[in-house]
Structure 1
Amino acid sequence: MKRLALALALAAGVTPAVFATEYTKIQPDKSSIAFAYQQMGVSMDGRFKAFTGQISFDPAQPEKTKATLDVDLSSVDTGSPENDSEVTGKSWFNTQSFPSARFEVTGVKALGGNRYEVAGKLSIKGTTRDLVAPATFTEQGNAGVFEGSFTLRRGDYAIGEGDWSTFDVVANEIKVNVRVTALAN
């Protein structure tokens, strides 16, 4: 009985950080980057089929988060091979010169519950801009699921140059939805 009491006393004195879970291994097959936009007033959807990333996230210390996502822009899937070819060309993503986009987290702020504010730098076609987006985090067994969305203004990154630089055919606002599933270490 004394041993049980001693064990309970020791366990009570252990700080919560000892039991903290850190999520470090992104599972690309359970993650996604999708987008939605308007083309001639019609809602269109797409996604990127290939991206890589690194993450270090501890829900007990979100301010120490480190994460990057690198998106292979040539993996764009608009639902039409003809459109995919157009979008990877020089007027749009220009994947010949700019094969990837990158988002690097610079800060995470807990908002309560499972809600967070994620700040970072988004780089596309040689242009880097600050970005702040709402996100949620949910633990699911030994995995954690991050979900967030933001609106990208394609004109800010010269996505759609020349004849495509106006927004009468393809809207300026692109809604981006990100879901990242990561395993705990």
Structure 2
Amino acid sequence: MKNSLRTLTLSAFVTGVAFATAAHAGIDTAKSTLTATFKQMNVPVDGSFKKINATIQFDPANLGSSKAQLDVDVASFDLGSAEYNDQVAGKDWFDAKDFPHATFVSNAIKAGANGAYSVTGTLTIRGKSNTVTVPVQYHKDGAAQVFDGVLPIKRLQYGIGQGEWSDTSLVADDVQLKFHIVSNGQ
């Protein structure tokens, strides 16, 4: 049960990373993080994705030409246990063999107040795609661009948690994808 929950968390985390991405550069993988938080039997569980790739083109003065594309290796989801990690990569959760990557591709970025942006795009996990809007907080750190946010998703919309794991009393449907994405700069 804990293993399946961790797999669900990985899916959420992948979604969050996908939405967080937005500058014309790759990301600094040593400084960037994507975590998924979910509840298993009402106990919060966190996991993180270790392999994330992204291409970001972000210009606050020209949002029409700004875009982001994120790719997450779902088998890199880490719950802190090799046994749990193997379970979440399996058929009931991420099915990493048949669906090795989760992706996010932006199609619109809108400015808000005080460095806040809304990034709308397509999130695909386990071959299931949904349009999502990700709230992103942006700031510069030297030459790097930094994007932070949290994207709530429903794991069952992406087929994460098959069979007994589709029971939301065991593993909640709600997953919070938390991201801190640092671009390599322009």
In the superposition, the TM-score normalised over structure 1's length comes to 0.85
Mapped to 2, the partners of 1:38 and 1:84 lie a distance apart of 17
Mapped to 1, the partners of 2:92 and 2:150 lie a distance apart of 25
- CA-CA distance at 1:184 after TM superposition: 2.8
Cα RMSD, aligned residues only: 1.1
Given the alignment of the two structures, is residue 40 of structure 1 paired with residue 36 of structure 2, yes or no?
no
Unaligned stretches of 5+ residues in structure 2: 1-22
In the superposition, the TM-score normalised over structure 2's length comes to 0.85
Work out the number of aligned pairs and report it: 164
- Provide, for residues 125-183 of structure 1, a one-character-per-residue CA deviation record: whole Å limited to 9, x for no partner: 11110000111111111111011211110110110011111111111001001111113
Contact 2:26 2:53 (8 Å CA) reproduced: no
Given the alignment of the two structures, is residue 155 of structure 1 paired with residue 156 of structure 2, yes or no?
yes
Q: SS at 1:28's partner residue?
A: coil
- CA-CA distance at 1:23 after TM superposition: 4.2
Unaligned stretches of 5+ residues in structure 1: 1-21
Q: Counterpart amino acid of 1:128? A: S
Given the alignment of the two structures, is residue 128 of structure 1 paired with residue 108 of structure 2, yes or no?
no
Write out aligned runs for 1:99-178 (5 A): 99-178=100-179
Mapped to 2, the partners of 1:142 and 1:36 lie a distance apart of 30
Contact 2:56 2:69 (8 Å CA) reproduced: yes
Identity of aligned residues (%): 35
Mapped to 2, the partners of 1:63 and 1:119 lie a distance apart of 12
Q: Which residue of 2 aligns with 1:18?
A: none
- CA-CA distance at 1:45 after TM superposition: 0.5
Mapped to 1, the partners of 2:134 and 2:96 lie a distance apart of 26
Mapped to 1, the partners of 2:95 and 2:185 lie a distance apart of 36
Q: Counterpart amino acid of 2:91? A: K
- Provide, for residues 72-102 of structure 1, a one-character-per-residue CA deviation record: whole Å limited to 9, x for no partner: 0000001222111110000100001000100
Higher relative contact order, structure no. (Cα contacts within 8 Å, ≥ 6 residues apart): 2
